[in-house]
Chains A and B, each alone.
Chain A
């Protein structure tokens, strides 16, 4: 087992969080959220990786003849991608509407809801 993919996942996640915390543009912020989500894909796929494993498709390989990577995490990743697409689309739609109503997408200027 290699430790590199896990470090990559942690780095990508923290980079996304940093971007979210310091973002000056809401579209950029939603992008950063998608970056955080990409880290979850990396982590999930790293968890399912098997040494010299092949894709878990049994149409042309005999079951048990060679190692395959874990299909469960791939299913989880696919579900996660679908969820992520929905969330990103919805959030971008909200950003569009914010831009129309407030005339800005800079979170520093959106300070109506305070205290």
Chain B
């Protein structure tokens, strides 16, 4: 069974190769069917392996087994967490491919296979990253998924904004990746190993009784910089809204639904297997670094989300807010935090992808994703409106959605004042989406005034991505968000599923404890509280719209999102320095 593991990355790559070679001669439906088939096969394979992954297995690719503990082969991990991520990636790719069935403009003759081929490459890169068992392969698959993501973001190459967003995304993420590679080189210099667990052991042996030194700290900071850029933690997050605002909608579903979360997963995996030993970074310092960045990310994401009128950017900032919560969840370094975050990521992937799918319908029907312009225009799209509102409530943590369960379990794990962060971030992001739903699909409240606010992206006058403006919304485009929402609901309600996830994550984790997760009364109450808060805030905003300009204290925050490449790079360097400063005390103390 474990010999099938490398196929998770190989099948999509082979499918992509087939499409690139044969795509010239294939009609469009055939090319898209091959894309769906390859991603569905991978999804089935991932789920099959996931069901047999207890106890976890490792596979040495190509039969290069270690001899006397020394290895030159590539190791692939098949535990609950990695296979779960691979399954999530594959299912979401399949959903995005089905959603984009006949979606784009007629591609130039002979290029029918390019878009599905790129999506399959993206899937292969993400699956490979999820199951990689050594640091350098993590880097290679990280780069593979990044490069494909840049290309997909700039897919509509005739659009001025799309290429600009794609370039920013590309430069910032590549710089992050080179940071990561420098960190890998430093860790290799110390231990002579690349496999995750062996580096961890090597660091412990090299440190002896002294604890970590400056080199370990530098390796930690540099590797985490790369992963946190991908995870869009503050202050590495600037590329994300620009990329999401311009990427085609099916691509946004993948970017927000799972690629950003893979950054969080990478942090969890690398800290757990490499830096959690006595020679690594002490738990207190890792917690400080991750929780501080997580709180900042959650706060900035939620506030910026509230003051957006471009619907796709709004959803992108909501993703940043939730990433902050995920970082806090894994940052408290206990089994419950990991379980809650895993469930939250599953629920969030379904909900956020469904919301993007609905935004895509708006874009292709009305040629705009501007909340103000669309005010009351989408009344006839009742089903879409209902899905958008349900998605908003799920984002706010409405029980029994998977997001609510994940939030409740994480809240219990982090405890104390951090619970407030969970409630506020989910309430505010949910309220922003709910506000959009009320204005756009119901036409509630007065039409907001334009205001003298030049300093933001409005989202009006966007080009639809379909051949022409949709008269009728195709069944595939409506079915996919419905199925995704149902999936997010299933995460929370299917009996035993949450425990299964928790068991799989705990087995892959390093804490050696098995915890059981279920709905608790305080969890449900907090979820209901944040949902009510979201409804109230949204209702107030809709009925009493203030001038659209944000209050004074938000303006500096908004001005930071300047769209300027140099600023983003400078902030990335600041972030690396901050990360180093937050993790420094453990090195000084030893």
B-contacting residues of A (Cβ < 8 Å)? 9, 13, 17, 20-23, 26, 29-30, 33, 36-37, 39-40, 43-44, 47, 72-73, 76, 79-80, 83, 86-87, 90-91, 94-95, 97-98, 101-102, 107-108, 110-115
A58 to B350, CA, bound (A): 53
- Inter-subunit contact A37/B160 (CB<8 Å): no
Interface residue B105 (Cβ < 8 Å from any Cβ of A)? no
Please, which residue of chain A has its CB at the minimum distance from the CB of B160?
A101
| Complex interface bits, B161-201 against A, C-beta within 8 A gives 1, otherwise 0 | 10111111011001100100110011011000010000000
Number of A-B contacts (CB under 8 A): 139
- Inter-subunit contact B189/A90 (CB<8 Å): no
A43 to B186, CA, bound (A): 8
- Interface-lining segment among B40-48, B146-154, B276-284, B517-525: B146-154
Interface residue B120 (Cβ < 8 Å from any Cβ of A)? no
Known A-B contacts A37-B178, A40-B182, A97-B157; A29 and B457 likewise in contact (beta carbons under 8 Å): no
Q: Which 6 A-B residue pairs are closest in the complex by CB-CB distance? A: A115-B456, A101-B160, A113-B563, A47-B189, A97-B163, A20-B569
Within 8 A of A (CB), among B125-160: 136, 140, 143, 146-147, 150-151, 154, 157-160
- Inter-subunit contact B154/A17 (CB<8 Å): no
| Highest count of chain B CB atoms <10 Å: which of A33, A36, A113 | A113
Set A17, A36, A115: member contacting B561, Cβ < 8 A: A115
A21 to B576, CA, bound (A): 15
- Inter-subunit contact A21/B563 (CB<8 Å): no
Min CB–CB distance B13 → chain A (angstroms) = 15
A-contacting residues of B (Cβ < 8 Å)? 72, 136, 140, 143, 146-147, 150-151, 154, 157-161, 163-168, 170-171, 174-175, 178, 181-182, 185-186, 188-189, 194, 241-242, 245-246, 307-308, 455-457, 558-559, 561-567, 569-570, 573
Residues from chain A with Cβ under 8 Å of B157 in the complex = 97
Known A-B contacts A17-B573, A91-B167, A95-B167; A112 and B563 likewise in contact (beta carbons under 8 Å): yes
Please, which residue of chain B has its CB at the minimum distance from the CB of A98?
B163
A33 to B136, CA, bound (A): 20
- Inter-subunit contact B178/A40 (CB<8 Å): yes
| Highest count of chain A CB atoms <10 Å: which of B178, B558, B562 | B178
Min CB–CB distance A96 → chain B (angstroms) = 9
Q: List 13 A-B contacts (CB under 8 A).
A: A21-B567, A21-B569, A22-B566, A29-B566, A33-B178, A43-B185, A43-B186, A73-B188, A94-B154, A98-B167, A101-B163, A102-B160, A113-B241
- Inter-subunit contact A20/B565 (CB<8 Å): yes
- Inter-subunit contact A87/B558 (CB<8 Å): no
Min CB–CB distance A88 → chain B (angstroms) = 9
Q: Is the interface of A mostly helix, strand, loop or mixed?
A: helix
Set A13, A94, A95, A102: member contacting B150, Cβ < 8 A: A94
A23 to B567, CA, bound (A): 10
Min CB–CB distance A74 → chain B (angstroms) = 12
Residues from chain A with Cβ under 8 Å of B186 in the complex = 43, 47
Known A-B contacts A22-B566, A40-B178; A94 and B170 likewise in contact (beta carbons under 8 Å): yes
- Inter-subunit contact B181/A17 (CB<8 Å): no
A79 to B135, CA, bound (A): 14
| A-B contact sample (19 more), CB < 8 A, given A79-B140, A87-B147, A94-B150 | A17-B569, A21-B566, A30-B171, A33-B171, A36-B175, A36-B178, A37-B174, A43-B186, A44-B185, A47-B189, A76-B188, A80-B181, A94-B170, A95-B167, A101-B163, A102-B160, A110-B563, A111-B562, A115-B456
- Inter-subunit contact B160/A91 (CB<8 Å): no
| Highest count of chain A CB atoms <10 Å: which of B186, B308, B564, B569 | B569
Min CB–CB distance A4 → chain B (angstroms) = 15
Min CB–CB distance A80 → chain B (angstroms) = 6
Please, which residue of chain A has its CB at the minimum distance from the CB of B566?
A21
A115 to B150, CA, bound (A): 21
- Inter-subunit contact B163/A26 (CB<8 Å): no
Please, which residue of chain A has its CB at the minimum distance from the CB of B190?
A47
Residues from chain B with Cβ under 8 Å of A13 in the complex = 178, 182
Residues from chain A with Cβ under 8 Å of B171 in the complex = 20, 29-30, 33, 91
| Highest count of chain A CB atoms <10 Å: which of B186, B245, B455, B565 | B565
